[in-house]
Every structure is written in C-alpha cells, then in structure tokens.
Amino acid sequence: MTTSSPTDSPARTGAARWVRPELQGIPPYTLDLTPCRFKLDQNECAWELPRPVRLRVAEGLVDAAWGRYPDFHGDALREALARRWNWPAEGILVGNGSNELLGVVLDALAGPGRSVLGADPTFGLYRRMIQRTGATPNFLPPRPDLRIPRQELRREILESPERPVLLCSPNNPTGDALAVEEVEALLEPLQGPLLLDAAYQEFGEADYRPLLDRFPNLVLFGTFSKAWGLGGIRLGYLLAQPDLVAALLAVKLPYNVGHAAVLAGLGALEAQSAVQRRIAATVALRLRWSQMLQRHGLEVFPSRANFLLVRVAGGTPASTRLFEELEARSIRVRNVAHYPGLAGCLRISIGSSLALRAVDRALGAIDSGRPRPERREVS
Ligand SMILES: Cc1ncc(COP(=O)(O)O)c(C=O)c1O
C-alpha cells in the first residue's frame, strides 16, 4: 500500500493516476453535513410536504414491485409533467435531480474542443460539469452589481452564435432573474442551444415555458428539490424539443429514476395547492428576511429565489467571522466569499419564521458583542 503525505497530489499517486489528466485538478464537492439547528445553506424547502401526501406516497411504494426494474425513463412522471406544463411527454426527461440531466445534456452537447458560454458568479457545479465533458467554460466576469450580464451575453452570442450557453435564472447564488423578454433577446441571435436552469423559477415571476413554443434551441431545466420539497428524493426534469429529447434518451442511462422518485414526484404534483401555499409563504418571508438582515447592517441583494445574498461590510474577514459566529449558534448559512465577485458575501436560504427569529436574535447578540468603532475612538 502506498502512503501519501497531505501535500502529495492524490491524483498522481496510486490508483488515482488512472483518472483522465484533465479531470485530476477538479476539486471534490464538499459541504458541512454535520447536524445543526437551523440549516440555511442548501436552499431547501423550509417545510416538508404535508404528512398525508408523504403517507400516500409511502403506501404506493410499499405496494410497488421492488424486485422489478422501473421503466426506462420514468414515463408516468413524464406524462404528469406534460399535463402540468402543457408540453409533449416526448419533449420531457426526468432524472436523479436536475444535476444529472444537466450532465447528460452537457455530455451530449459539449465535449473536447468545445466551449460553453456562461456568466459568473453562478451555480458552482456548472464549471465542473462542463470540464468533466472535456469542454471549456467561457464564463463572463462578474458585474459590479452582480446582476446577470444581459448585454455582455448578447454581444458574445452575436460574435459566436453557435456556442452553447448555460445560464441560471433566478441565478444561484445572487437571486437575480432574467425577464422573459431578456431571455428572448438572447435566444433570437443564438443558433446553438440555451440551457436555462430554472431550479428556482417557482419563487420568481417569469414563466419561461412559452418560449419553448417559439425557440427550438431552448432547453429548460426544473427541479423538485426546491419549491416542491423533494431535495432528499432526488428528482429533476427538463423540457426541450422532442427530437432533442429522443437523442438524449440514448445518451442518458436507462432506469435513472426508480419507483420511489416517480411516486414522490406524482404525489407532489397532486399536492400542488399545498406546494403553492408554501411558495407564497416563502415569497412573503423573503421580504421579512430581507428587512431583518438590512436592519442588522447587511447589504441584501434583490432576490427572486428562496435565498438571499448578503454582503458584509469589512469584506471576507468580516463575513468569515460572521459565518463562524452563526455556526457557533448552530445556524448554518453558505459562505460564498470565494466565488468570483463575492468577497465578503454569504448566502442565506429563506427559512421559517422560527429560523428568522433565531437569526435575528443571533445577529443582535453578535452586533452587541462587537466592539463599536465610535466607542473605541472615545476611549
Ligand atoms: C441552480 C441550481 N440548479 C440545480 C440544482 C440542483 O438541483 P437538483 O437537486 O435537482 O439536482 C441546484 C441546487 O442547489 C441549484 O442551485
């Protein structure tokens, strides 16, 4: 057995040397998963689906044929999503989270020698998913206001109209969202595909679905992990032209969603009115969270999602301190200060009223424990 010191590159020694060289530099995805009292770092739904809904799904699972494979592509769920979105089931794919489907689409459309246009700061997994295919991420730098760079993206598209584009709207981690007309302005000159990750669409106003009727190059991703409260089940979907989906069915592995995910997805769709109430509650709470965070002197960016990006005066040392002080009170938020353009920033999921009060109290205690500059000057 070879031993290695922590400074050795694990990719160069032992069995890891067989990993393709272009993948060896990709850092592992890590997150603190130890228990905490208020978990506000993964933009999950603040509430579980109602218990009767979960019980119905569980009963369905008990009666399912565990020993039998599911069908290849989760067809019952594709049909249900077709009804929800008024889009043909042949133009829908379901997957083990939308991340899986993003990987499938990038495998099919990107690859060595190609590049994908995007914009920083955005969802951290995009870069690694593009690199995994052997393609290069061409991400525009952050704007000072951290908004999605609409004009700059359009200019890039006019210059290289064939290049695939990958965008997130509402954007994680900033919360900024493109209006439907703004997406249209990008699609018009684009000859390649636009992969639009709408994981947080339910919390915003824009409905991008009608664009599919007019733009065959749009691929729209959705997830059950956020508004639908199924993060632990792993379920996502995409809507695209049926001929593209037919080609993707050959790239995607069969049986990628099992009985449990299909049943949970169907159960969630049937519980749409309860889900709608939770979305409305989250949007109402978003305003209260924003006001509370501002009262504590944090800069809060406008958000159309179920999270808020905040900037702490004093930059990354101050935001890291605040992150640690919240963590010490069992409140876990996401430290995003290392993302491009996000020095001094934290991302906070919209939690319940209980979580809001806990964070309010914690910030009050942290504020009052902090030496005030004015006082120091006097003494
Ligand atoms: C922008 C974005 N897309 C996709 C996902 C993941 O979705 P899923 O759980 O469906 O894989 C996330 C999760 O945080 C996200 O923020």
Domain boundary assignment for the chain: 32-47+273-368, 51-270
pLDDT at residue 370 is higher than 80? no
Between the CA of residue 178 and those of 153, 167, 327, 368, what are the distances in Å?
A: 12, 10, 33, 39
Whether 292 and 358 have beta carbons less than 8 Å apart is answered as no
pLDDT at 116: 98
Say if residues 274 and 280 touch (Cβ distance below 8 Å). Answer: no
Name the helix (H) or strand (E) containing 54: helix 51-63
Query: Ligand 1 center to residue 312 CA distance, Å?
Result: 25
Mean pLDDT of 260-265: 98
Query: Which amino acid would we find at residue 83?
Result: R
Which atom of ligand 1 is the closest one to the Cα of 43?
14
Measured from the Cα of 234, ligand 1's closest atom is: 9
Closest CA to 92 of 225, 206, 252, 207: 252
Position 12 scores a pLDDT of: 65
State whether the beta carbon of 123 lies less than 6 angstroms from ligand 1: yes
Start-to-end CA distance of the chain, whole Å, equals 62
CB 331 within 8 A of CB 362: yes
Q: Rounded to an integer, what distance in angstroms lies between the CA atom of residue 323 and that of residue 308?
A: 14
> Nearest-5° angle of CA 333, CA 337, CA 341?
130
Residue 38: pLDDT over 70: yes
32-47+273-368 and 51-270: same fold? no
CA distance 127 to 115: 11
- Counting from 1 in the atom list of ligand 1, the atom nearest the Cα of 223 is 10
- For ligand 1, what atom is nearest to the CA of residue 236? 10
Beta bridge partners of 221: 197, 238
Residue 247: CA count within 13 A, CB half-sphere: 9
Pocket test for ligand 1, best of 125, 202, 219, 228 (most atoms within 8 A of CB): 125
Closest CA to 256 of 85, 77, 42, 61: 77
Question: What is the reported pLDDT for 375?
Answer: 42
Q: Are strands 218-223 and 194-197 parallel, antiparallel or unpaired?
A: parallel
Residue of 206, 154, 152 lying closest to 175 (CA atoms): 206
* Å from CA of 223 to ligand 1 middle: 7
85 lines ligand 1 (CB under 6 A): no
43 lines ligand 1 (CB under 6 A): yes
Assign 25 a pLDDT band (cuts: 50, 70, 90).
Answer: confident
Find all residues with CB under 8 Å of 280, minimum gap 6, and list them.
Answer: none
Helix (H, G, I), strand (E, B) or coil at 70: coil
Q: What CATH architecture applies to the domain 32-47+273-368?
A: Alpha-Beta Complex (3.90)
What is the distance of C-alpha 312 from the center of its chain?
23
111-116's contacts with Cβ under 8 Å and 24+ in sequence apart are 111/135, 114/163, 114/164, 115/163, 116/163, 116/164, 116/165, 116/166
The pLDDT, as a whole number, for residue 8 is 47
pLDDT at 2: 37
Mean pLDDT of 289-318: 98
Q: What is the structure's pLDDT at 371?
A: 59
CB-facing half-sphere around the CA of 23: CA atoms within 13 A? 13
Residue 40, pLDDT score: 98
Q: Per-residue confidence at 13, pLDDT binned at 50, 70, 90? A: confident
Dihedral sign, Cα of residue 66, residue 234, residue 241, residue 249: negative
- Per-residue pLDDT at 4 exceeds 60: no
C-alpha to C-alpha distance for 277 and 8, rounded to whole angstroms: 52
Confidence of residue 275 (pLDDT cuts 50, 70, 90): very high
Grade residue 93 by pLDDT with cuts at 50, 70 and 90.
very high
Residue nearest to atom 8 of ligand 1 (CA): 97
Beta bridge partners of 195: 166, 219
Q: What percent of the chain has pLDDT over 70?
A: 94
Residues in the chain: 379
What is the whole-number distance in angstroms between the Cα of residue 48 and the centre of ligand 1?
A: 18
Distance CA 177, CA 41 (A): 20
Residue 298 has pLDDT above 90, yes or no: yes
Ligand 1 pocket test target in 172, 306, 307, 336 with most atoms within 8 Å of CB? 172
For the cut 50, the answer to whether the pLDDT of residue 377 exceeds it is no
Pocket flag, ligand 1, residue 173 (CB < 6 Å): no
Q: List Cβ neighbours of 146 (8 Å cut-off, separation of 6 or more).
A: 121, 174, 176, 301, 309, 341, 342
Q: Is the CB of 172 under 6 A from ligand 1?
A: yes
| Model pLDDT, residue 27 | 85
CATH number of 51-270: 3.40.640.10
Distance 256 CA to ligand 1 centre (A): 17
197 Cβ inside 6 Å of ligand 1 = yes
Cα–Cα dist 21/11, whole Å: 8
The mean pLDDT of the chain is: 94
What is the arithmetic mean of pLDDT over 157-183?
Answer: 98
Report how far ligand 1's centroid is from the alpha carbon of 249 (Å): 21
What pLDDT is attached to residue 7?
Answer: 43
Q: Residue 21 has what pLDDT?
A: 87
**Tokens coding 147:** 């908004």
Render pLDDT for 220-259 as a digit per residue (tens, 0 to 9): 999 999 999 999 999 999 999 999 999 999 999 999 999 9
pLDDT at 3 over 50: no
Pocket of ligand 1 contains residue 236 by CB under 6 Å: yes
Name the band, by pLDDT with cuts 50, 70 and 90, for residue 150: very high
The response to whether residue 303 sits with its C-beta less than 6 Å from ligand 1 reads: no
Q: Which two tokens stand for residue 164?
A: 């695939």
Q: Which of 151, 199, 208 is nearest to 179 (CA)?
A: 208
Strand partners, 218: 194
Q: Which ligand 1 atom is the nearest neighbour of the CA of 173? A: 16
pLDDT of residue 372: 53
Give the pLDDT of residue 78: 98
Its pTM stands at 0.94
Alpha-carbon span 119 to 164, nearest angstrom: 13
Burial label, 237 (beta-carbon count in 10 A; 0-12, 13-18, 19+): buried
Q: How far is the CA of 221 from the centre of ligand 1 (A)?
A: 9
Atom of ligand 1 nearest to the CA of 224: 10
Among 5-19, 90-104, 232-246, 321-335, whose mean pLDDT is lowest?
5-19
What's the pLDDT score for residue 117? 98
Tokens linked to 328? 């010490």
